[in-house]
A and B are shown apart, each in its own frame.
Chain A
Amino acid sequence: MSTQNVQQEVTPKSALEELLTLPRRGENPYIQDWKANGGKVFAYVCSYVPEEIIYAVKGVAKSRYLPVRLGATGCTKTEDADIDLSRCLCSFARSTLQMGLDGEYSYLDGLVYSSSCEQMRRSFEYWRDKLHPDFLEMISVPRTTDTQAHFEWYLEEVNNVRLKFGQKYGLLSNKASLNETIKIYNRFRELMLELYALRSGDAPKLTGTEALNIALAGFNMPKDIFNEKLEAAIEELKARPAVTGYRARVLLAGSPIDDPALVEIIEGTGALVVTDTLCTGRKYVEGMVDETTDDPVRAIAKRYFSKETCPRMMDGTDARVAYVKRLAKEANVDGVIFQYITFCDNHNIENIIESRSLEKDGVPTLTLEREYQPGDVGRLRTRVQAFMERINK
């Protein structure tokens, strides 16, 4: 018995186990390795920052740049950040600023913001004036995507930030490093879509909570290493029995989610999240960068500018409504759960438009208001349980 136990202890984690339990932020071993090898780590805010332009920066052998999505899971209070903030700033923005004050982001070398929503744009100034990161840039993103002029504006903004890295650190990306990065990121997207296919089929192989944990690992480690791990994890998932015992298949939509706690609450009532339209989920991995052009920066910018849009865009509402309907149909869901962080007006109003349209088509919907920090479990559970009862009546 005792030898068996010892063997169990030294058995390395499988790729799947590792991705499901990867520590966040400064505790993440891949980020620690990266830093130890002389690499720099930059957080980006929102999916309008093209990660490839950061990841492709290359200098002498090991001085590479790693983009990670800014998150604040585990934040339990925001009172220090609140002192200088409006009470209408969303709890995600507050939590990131609180963690900045708490030194949680000491592993970061800088941040790249995009003018995604007002909540995040206004927290940019707080970083600038209070937290003073070594490198801080903002990509101004137009609010319409339908003209060439708007695209050129976005492209120029992206290029400016790319050049700022050069001015600051003397390192630049070049055509070869950009093309190499594009391949890695496209492969990442392919694999993530394969993971979605394992969830949204007739016999789902993983829960929404597990899928989010895997996605979070992907946000926080070099994509080429992640791709290898994910490939292995997908094989493990294919070999294991399908998830059973759930009461309803649901699509999750609304504000970005980077904390599994909310999905756990939803799935704790018997729902199984089989797909989503989240910018931290499906929207993050859909749309490939064109690998055949001669202008990789333009190709990268094009992918980010023409992917499924965020509700902060003035156009694209009809396309987003069609998108949620298409995914709901493809994944054969019994209902759609919308959620928004208090004061996240973009998603709140978008949720109303999308849910009305889905209900008209006979798809049951539920809308939850929540804070970024987990909690309020009873109130959320009651609503989701009632929704399950409505679906299963």
Chain B
Amino acid sequence: MIFAGVDVGSMSAEAVLFDGEKILAHSTIVVKPNPLQSATIVMDTVLAESGLTYDDVTYCVSTGYGRERIPFAQHDVSEISCHGKGAVWAIPSIKTVIDIGGQDSKVIRVDANGDMDDFVMNDKCAAGTGRFLEGIAKTFHLHVSDLGVLALNGTDPAPINSICTVFANFDVMCMLAEGQTKENIAYGVSNVLARRIFGLVSKVGLVEDVCITGGVAKNQGVVRSLEDIMEVPIQKLPVDSQIVGALGAALFACQRYENLQEKNKAEAN
């Protein structure tokens, strides 16, 4: 049996195929303006890679901000629950999941089953999200994925005071004009984002083990800053951090299908 999870976020969309025990395939794309289009493309891609069709999928769960408008999904679950589920499947000892996404950051406290005990999300502000980093990368004429390496090469983090995405960019431009190195600015940017995230972590309380999911988890500069501020190690995921939401959705698809089967069996008896 094949279970699918599809996660349409604000910046990227992911799909995961799961057979009840292992990940069969996964795919990631940059989102289109229309969430349904993104979901269809990323699903088409992952199915084509595995030589499968929509008919082969037993049950599909959608998540992410476009989750309610995906016609091939039988059910939708919030991305908060999905990141918790996916992370604990990947590392069973995880208790705290930090997901830094494109427009939302969240800290999720999970139990041993990966079910959510508590969560907090960012306020109505892009500070502390992937958008923040993307804006800074643009100012440097770099791709956002290059920002982490740049930050790791910084030695003396530039002091960035503004926590506003727009004004931090302005700060950065002024610093460049004053002759600060890109490396130190990137280091400073990582620290600002990490402090913002640490504020959220403190709200739910820090319980080890901790991992980071979402696209920003790939930014080694942010990971270093977060470890420095939290003073605990961040566990390295054995799967691509960006697919954890879609993986969680696929796990919920599997769980929900099994529950429905049991319910049907009980009713038949």
A residues lining the B interface (CB < 8 Å): 342, 359, 364, 369-371, 376, 378-379, 381-383, 385-386, 389-390, 393
Q: Does B124 contact A (CB under 8 A)?
A: yes
Q: With A and B bound together, what is the CA distance between A370 and B123 in angstroms?
A: 9
Which one of B80, B115, B116, B118 contacts A382 once the chains associate, using CB atoms below 8 Å? B80
**Which A residues are in CB contact (< 8 Å) with B78?**
382, 385-386, 389
Most buried by A among B79, B104, B111, B119: B119
Q: With A and B bound together, what is the CA distance between A376 and B123 in angstroms?
A: 12
Which one of A342, A369, A371, A386 contacts B80 once the chains associate, using CB atoms below 8 Å? A386
Given known contacts A382-B79, A382-B80, A382-B104, is B117 in contact with A390 (CB within 8 Å)?
yes
Which one of B68, B104, B119, B124 contacts A390 once the chains associate, using CB atoms below 8 Å? B119
Name the distance in Å between A256's Cβ and chain B's nearest Cβ: 18
Given known contacts A376-B124, A382-B65, is B104 in contact with A389 (CB within 8 Å)?
no
Q: Does B2 contact A (CB under 8 A)?
A: no
**Which B residues are in CB contact (< 8 Å) with A342?**
124
Given known contacts A382-B79, A386-B80, is B124 in contact with A393 (CB within 8 Å)?
no
* Selected A-B contacts with CB under 8 Å, 10 pairs: A364-B118, A369-B124, A382-B80, A386-B78, A386-B119, A389-B81, A390-B118, A393-B115, A393-B116, A393-B117
Name the distance in Å between B33's Cβ and chain A's nearest Cβ: 14
Q: Does B163 contact A (CB under 8 A)?
A: no
Q: Give chain B's interface residue range (CB within 8 Å of chain A).
A: 10 to 19
Q: Does B91 contact A (CB under 8 A)?
A: no
Q: Which residue from chain A places its CB closest to the CB of B65 in the assembled complex?
A: A378
Q: Does B77 contact A (CB under 8 A)?
A: yes
6 nearest A-B pairs in the assembled complex, by CB-CB distance = A386-B80, A386-B78, A393-B115, A385-B78, A389-B81, A369-B124
Q: Which residue from chain A places its CB closest to the CB of B108 in the assembled complex?
A: A386
Whether B77 contacts A369 by the Cβ 8 Å rule is no
Name the distance in Å between B84's Cβ and chain A's nearest Cβ: 9
Given known contacts A342-B124, A369-B124, A382-B104, is B77 in contact with A389 (CB within 8 Å)?
yes
Q: Which residue from chain A places its CB closest to the CB of B204 in the assembled complex?
A: A359
Name the distance in Å between B32's Cβ and chain A's nearest Cβ: 16
Q: Does B173 contact A (CB under 8 A)?
A: no
**Which B residues are in CB contact (< 8 Å) with A371?**
124
Whether B81 contacts A386 by the Cβ 8 Å rule is yes
**Which A residues are in CB contact (< 8 Å) with B80?**
382, 386, 389
Q: Which residue from chain B places its CB closest to the CB of A393 in the assembled complex?
A: B115
Name the distance in Å between A100's Cβ and chain B's nearest Cβ: 26
Q: With A and B bound together, what is the CA distance between A366 and B239 in angstroms?
A: 30
**Which B residues are in CB contact (< 8 Å) with A359?**
118
Name the distance in Å between B255's Cβ and chain A's nearest Cβ: 12
Known: A364-B118, A382-B78, A393-B115. 5 other contacts (CB 8 A): A386-B80, A386-B121, A389-B116, A390-B118, A393-B81
Give chain B interface residues in 9-50, CB to chain A under 8 Å.
none
Q: With A and B bound together, what is the CA distance between A393 and B80 in angstroms?
A: 12
**Which B residues are in CB contact (< 8 Å) with A390?**
81, 116-119
Q: With A and B bound together, what is the CA distance between A221 and B116 in angstroms?
A: 45
Contact with A along B112-148 (1 / 0, CB 8 A): 0001111101011000000000000000000000000
Whether A379 contacts B116 by the Cβ 8 Å rule is no
Q: Which residue from chain B places its CB closest to the CB of A340 in the assembled complex?
A: B123
Q: With A and B bound together, what is the CA distance between A393 and B112 in angstroms?
A: 12
Q: Which residue from chain B places its CB closest to the CB of A383 in the assembled complex?
A: B121
Q: With A and B bound together, what is the CA distance between A364 and B116 in angstroms?
A: 12
Q: With A and B bound together, what is the CA distance between A342 and B111 in angstroms?
A: 32
Q: With A and B bound together, what is the CA distance between A379 and B104 in angstroms?
A: 9
**Which A residues are in CB contact (< 8 Å) with B116?**
386, 389-390, 393
**Which B residues are in CB contact (< 8 Å) with A381?**
68
Q: With A and B bound together, what is the CA distance between A342 and B125 in angstroms?
A: 11
**Which A residues are in CB contact (< 8 Å) with B79?**
382, 386
Name the distance in Å between A324's Cβ and chain B's nearest Cβ: 19
Q: Which residue from chain B places its CB closest to the CB of A371 in the assembled complex?
A: B124
Q: Which residue from chain B places its CB closest to the CB of A370 in the assembled complex?
A: B124
Q: With A and B bound together, what is the CA distance between A89 and B77 in angstroms?
A: 36
Q: With A and B bound together, what is the CA distance between A355 and B49 in angstroms?
A: 48
**Which B residues are in CB contact (< 8 Å) with A383?**
121
Q: Which residue from chain A places its CB closest to the CB of B110 in the assembled complex?
A: A393
Q: With A and B bound together, what is the CA distance between A364 and B123 in angstroms?
A: 19
Name the distance in Å between A127's Cβ and chain B's nearest Cβ: 28
Whether A369 contacts B118 by the Cβ 8 Å rule is no
**Which A residues are in CB contact (< 8 Å) with B111?**
393
Give chain B interface residues in 162-212, CB to chain A under 8 Å.
none
**Which B residues are in CB contact (< 8 Å) with A386?**
78-81, 116, 119, 121
Name the distance in Å between B257's Cβ and chain A's nearest Cβ: 18
Q: With A and B bound together, what is the CA distance between A204 and B79 in angstroms?
A: 31
Q: With A and B bound together, what is the CA distance between A385 and B81 in angstroms?
A: 10
Name the distance in Å between A49's Cβ and chain B's nearest Cβ: 30
Q: Which residue from chain A places its CB closest to the CB of B120 in the assembled complex?
A: A367
Q: With A and B bound together, what is the CA distance between A376 and B111 in angstroms?
A: 30
Given known contacts A382-B79, A389-B80, A390-B118, is B65 in contact with A369 (CB within 8 Å)?
no
Q: With A and B bound together, what is the CA distance between A383 and B10 in angstroms?
A: 15
Q: With A and B bound together, what is the CA distance between A105 and B102 in angstroms?
A: 41
Q: With A and B bound together, what is the CA distance between A385 and B64 in angstroms?
A: 12
Q: Which residue from chain B places its CB closest to the CB of A376 in the assembled complex?
A: B124
Contact with A along B73-115 (1 / 0, CB 8 A): 0000111110000000000000000000000100000010001
**Which B residues are in CB contact (< 8 Å) with A376?**
124
**Which A residues are in CB contact (< 8 Å) with B104?**
379, 382
Q: Which residue from chain B places its CB closest to the CB of A342 in the assembled complex?
A: B124
Q: With A and B bound together, what is the CA distance between A80 and B68 in angstroms?
A: 36
**Which A residues are in CB contact (< 8 Å) with B81?**
386, 389-390, 393
